[in-house]
């Protein structure tokens, strides 16, 4: 969906297809404005084992990003908190 316009029809279609967990992530980002991958994992994937949450959280966020629901904010790579766990997420056009 990258590069395509986000129309009202597309947003309505997304609203029908997002899971409850997806909607909860959107609500959290709407409330907090930004959150890290680890924060979202602790809030929305606590029902899974740590290993499963570590796999599912980035996968879910990448899928929502491809739908333009969330966006990974640009950041400096390297340092102590490098890697996908240090990614910071916000709402993208369709998520807003």
Residue 14 in any domain: the answer is no
Question: Would you say how long the chain is, in residues?
Answer: 96
Q: How far apart are the first and last CA of the chain?
A: 16
Residue 9 in any domain: the answer is no
20-62 residue pLDDT tens: 999 999 999 999 999 999 999 999 999 999 999 999 999 999 9
What region does 18 belong to: left with phi over 0, alpha with psi -120 to 50, or beta?
beta
Residue 1 in any domain: the answer is no
Report the C-alpha gap between 71 and 21 in whole angstroms.
Answer: 17
Whole domain around residue 37: which residue ranges? 21-91
Residue 82 in any domain: the answer is yes
Give the chain's domain count: 1
83 pLDDT more than 70: no
Residue 40 in any domain: the answer is yes
Residue 12 in any domain: the answer is no
- Give the model's pLDDT for residue 22: 98
Residue 52 in any domain: the answer is yes
Residue 64 in any domain: the answer is yes
Least confident of 8-17, 32-41, 43-52, 75-84: 75-84
10 Å Cβ neighbour count for 18? Answer: 18
Q: Within 13 Å and on the Cβ side, how many CA atoms surround 91?
A: 16
Residue 95: which of 48, 28, 39, 3 has the closest Cα? 28
71: domain CATH number?
A: 1.10.10
Confidence of residue 82 (pLDDT cuts 50, 70, 90): low
pTM for the full model?
0.85
């Amino acid at each position: 969906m990258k590069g395509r316009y986000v129309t009202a029809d597309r947003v309505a279609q997304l609203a029908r297809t997002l899971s409850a967990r997806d909607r909860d992530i959107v609500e959290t980002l709407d409330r907090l404005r930004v959150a890290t991958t680890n924060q979202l994992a602790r809030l929305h994937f606590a029902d899974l084992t740590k290993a499963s949450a570590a796999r599912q959280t980035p996968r879910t966020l990448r899928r929502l990003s491809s739908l333009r629901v969330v966006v990974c904010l640009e950041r400096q790579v390297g340092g102590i908190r490098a890697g996908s766990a240090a990614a910071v997420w916000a709402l993208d056009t369709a998520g807003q």
